[in-house]
Structure 1
Amino acid sequence: MILFENVCKTYLIGGEEVRALDHANLHIQKGEFVSIIGPSGSGKSTLMNIMGCLDIPDSGSYLLDGRSVGSLSEKELTGIRSRKIGFVFQDFNLISKMTAEENVGLPLVYQGFKQAAIKRYAAEALEHVNLTSRKTHRPAQLSGGQQQRVAIARALVTKPILFLADEPTGNLDSKTGSEIMDLFHQLHEQGNTIVLITHDQSVAMQAKRRITISDGRVEEDSL
């Protein structure tokens, strides 16, 4: 499903070139649960941005579900992001004035779904993460763990081919973080492909496969 071949990405920072990805190679099969681990500045955020079609490589190739991302237009990239990738972020990225139900349904609004369908699919996604009773609550009325569950439901609602989670337990206490990881395990058991970006070794170890990145290079790919 995911294939990186000699992917390079360089940024100009303070007049100096920084190679965020240096001939990165990796292959992730459909249905895998993979963690990508590395310290701050290792290149994992750049890897995630390219994997999530938020950025494109300077050189090399990235194939997602058999399509070369580098050759796609911005409109096509936007379509892939909204339909094929479910994003889960460390900071939840919920809209404060919207209820949980409205936050979950937002991707479907952008896709032009009718209101009745949006409410139905949002309700199904919230039920999946055991938050039906909180559907009318706004983010400020929810705990951190509940907010992350809403974020996961929002990722679920479009039925993506890939869940891309960036430090999903980073703002949570250990008990709540463990509950969120249990939810990712459930999603994986249901056949979903999950890529989890983290700097936490204990979180990374829960994946079925771990990829280590350092100084822009994929240094280890182990079972």
Structure 2
Amino acid sequence: MSIDDAVTVAPVRQRPAGEPAPSVAAAWTDYLAAARQLDGVRRGAATAAAAQSRAVEAARAELTGVRARLAPQQARLRELGVPAISLAPTPPELTEAARAMVGGPAAVLAGLRRAQSWAEGADAALAARGAPRPAAWPPRWRNLLVYGPLALVVPVVQLVLFLTAGAGPVSVVALLVGLPMPAVAFAAGRVGVSRLFPPGPDGRWDHTPRLGLLTCLVPAVVVAAGIMLALLAG
């Protein structure tokens, strides 16, 4: 036997027609794994962005509510004699608050909710002091405490003089003197409102001028008309 006949050649495996080369199959597997990982990262980023957006909107709504609650509290505390400097945060407090807000919208929202709970506690503490003073009443009602007595002074005096002196010169003089008195009472009422009650959050007084004019004018007109009719009838 020749040397050529003694050499044994190992058989070669033939790949099917549609089967990719081993290097191509490995690359395809790596590509699918990377695509799945990228899709997971994308979905996670979208979820985190949506959660952050919701946290921002919730923080804005919470901030509006806290501001709306703190404004009347500040005015009430000023009425109770608390100095304005005590109602403003100190630099260390501002620094601590800024440090707490570094965590992003979620941390801001948590801080605002804590502030809301503190404000609710402050409301409860203020309510425990009893019924609010007239300075805390709505402007119409508290201003009526000033305009009302001033509007009744002159008509009551006129009525007393008429009942005691009768339809005589004294009543006529009192009637004539009392004609400009509603304007005087209204002007005095505006000054009294500015002196007795604190300004609003915008720094201005609400004098309720229409209410003041009606309050000062109606009693004077009614009493003057009644006295005049009595004089004409007499």
**TM-score normalised to structure 1 length:** 0.19
* Largest Rg, 1 or 2: 2
Higher relative contact order by CA 8 Å / sep ≥ 6: 1 or 2? 1
More helix by share: 2
More strand by share: 1
